[in-house]
Amino acid sequence: MIVLRRQVARPAVTPTDRLLLVLLARLTHDWRSALLIVQPDTLLRWHRHAFRLVWRVRSATARKRPQAAPETVVLIKRMAAENRLWGAERIRAELLKLGIRVGKRTVQRHMRSERPPQPRRRGQTWATFVHIHAHDIWACAVLPVIDLGFRSIYAFFIVDLGSRRVVHVGVTRHPIDAWVAQQLREATPFGTAPRFLIRDNDAQFGAQFARVAAGSRIEVLRTPIRAPRANAICERFLGSVRRECLDHLLILNENQLHRVLRAYCAYFNTARPHQGIAQAIPDAAERTRTMAPPAACVVSTSILGGLHHDYRRAA
């Protein structure tokens, strides 16, 4: 009757009204015939909803979420503030490298105070390429870069698919067949050559490149046309070079680009964890993963002028 006195076309039932009706239904045996405003099924639905809320509260009080150490929380906020390009999974991998095991949701929860939420990036998901013979396969690709004068510079990369290590990087304004062949020759000194080499169908891979590969007993595998997934790992690396390095710098000339890419590749090989190899580092001999409790004795080294940071335990 209190609801009907509100004089509206369709009475609005508040949560208090619903709770009162559910309680009254427990005291009245013939409650179905007394309902005039709502249907019996509606009242039963409210009762089920209240039942779920009660058990949700009881379950939440029964289990307690393990809290992260205060030093770890400070370190998470520090990484989030210093590395605007890193997401929660990237910070979690960096902590795992330092021997600190936390969940991804824990990192996200403490990142919110240092960084506002950003829309999730959507991109193409690269299919996994080569599971068995990855340690015997290299992949190469050419990355075009536009300098400050709107001229083209080309960077040539060779990546080891098994370890994700960047084997070689070269820079030129004229990527002709002879220059690319020389880069392959420099990347395979003293017979250190893979069994297979994946390349695309660019024109710079010509006869001289094929002769150098054959002389090193490398079987060259050409990817199909318009099939970037056939060279997924190398294409993913080129995307990382753009997103994590070149998109945030102004390139003046060929020498500067070579210095920048060499610095980034050194960081990529010796300090950056990779999801494709279980958050490991390509040059595993350079870094060892140890379990140490305090996170306060962590020092950071600036990479590329502060664009990235490398975190290590203080000696």
pLDDT for 132-178, tens place per residue? 667 788 999 999 999 998 999 999 999 998 888 899 999 999 999 99
pLDDT in the model for residue 24: 72
Residue 126 in any domain: the answer is no
Residues 96 and 167 in one domain: no
Q: What is the pLDDT of residues 249-259, one digit of tens each?
A: 899 999 999 99
How far, in Å, CA of 183 to CA of 212, rounded? 10
Phi, psi of 222 (to 5 degrees): -90, 135
Q: Which of 62, 78, 93 is the last residue of a domain?
A: 62
Percent with pLDDT over 70 in the chain = 78
Residues 190 and 273 in one domain: yes
Residues 153 and 201 in one domain: yes
How far, in Å, CA of 271 to CA of 246, rounded? 18
Residue 10 in any domain: the answer is yes
Residue 123 in any domain: the answer is no
Domain CATH number, residue 211:
3.30.420.10
Residues 87 and 196 in one domain: no
Q: Which structural domain, as residue segments, surrounds residue 232?
A: 134-277
How far, in Å, CA of 172 to CA of 180, rounded? 10
Residue 43 in any domain: the answer is yes
Residues 102 and 233 in one domain: no
Residue 28: both structure tokens together: 């009245």
| Residues 6+ away with beta carbon under 8 Å from 274 | 164, 280, 281, 282
Residue 268 in any domain: the answer is yes
The number of domains in the chain is 3
| Residues 6+ away with beta carbon under 8 Å from 231 | 129, 139, 141, 198, 199, 200, 223
Residues 54 and 148 in one domain: no
Residue 219 bridge partners (DSSP): 196
Q: What is the pLDDT of residues 189-236, one digit of tens each?
A: 887 888 899 998 888 899 999 999 999 899 998 988 877 778 888 888
Q: Is 267 helix (H, G, I), strand (E, B) or coil?
A: helix
pLDDT in the model for residue 14: 81
C-beta atoms surrounding 237 within 10 Å = 22
pLDDT in the model for residue 220: 92
In this predicted structure, the answer to whether residue 272 has a pLDDT above a threshold of 80 is yes
Residue 242 in any domain: the answer is yes
Q: Which of 42, 62, 82 is the last residue of a domain?
A: 62
Residue 27: both structure tokens together: 């005291």
Residue 253 in any domain: the answer is yes
How far, in Å, CA of 45 to CA of 47, rounded? 5
C-beta atoms surrounding 150 within 10 Å = 6
Residue 281 · residue 260 · CB < 8 Å: no
Residues 45 and 152 in one domain: no
Residues 182 and 249 in one domain: yes
What DSSP designation does 271 have?
A: T
pLDDT in the model for residue 262: 94
Q: What is the pLDDT of residues 85-139, one digit of tens each?
A: 888 899 999 999 888 888 888 888 888 877 665 555 554 333 444 556 677 889 9
Residues 209 and 163 in one domain: yes
Residues 239 and 147 in one domain: yes
Residue 128 in any domain: the answer is no
pLDDT in the model for residue 83: 86
Put residue 28 in one of left, alpha, beta given phi > 0 → left and psi -120 to 50 → alpha: beta
Which residue, 235, 247, 238, is CA-closest to 200? 235
Q: How far is CA 114 from the centre of its chain?
A: 19
Model confidence, pTM: 0.58
SS3 labels along 3-44: CHHHCCCCCCCCHHHHHHHHHHHHHCCCHHHHCCCCCHHHHH
Residues 302 and 256 in one domain: no
pLDDT in the model for residue 120: 54
Which stretches of 112-231 are DSSP H helices? 177-187, 207-215
How far, in Å, CA of 114 to CA of 134, rounded? 39
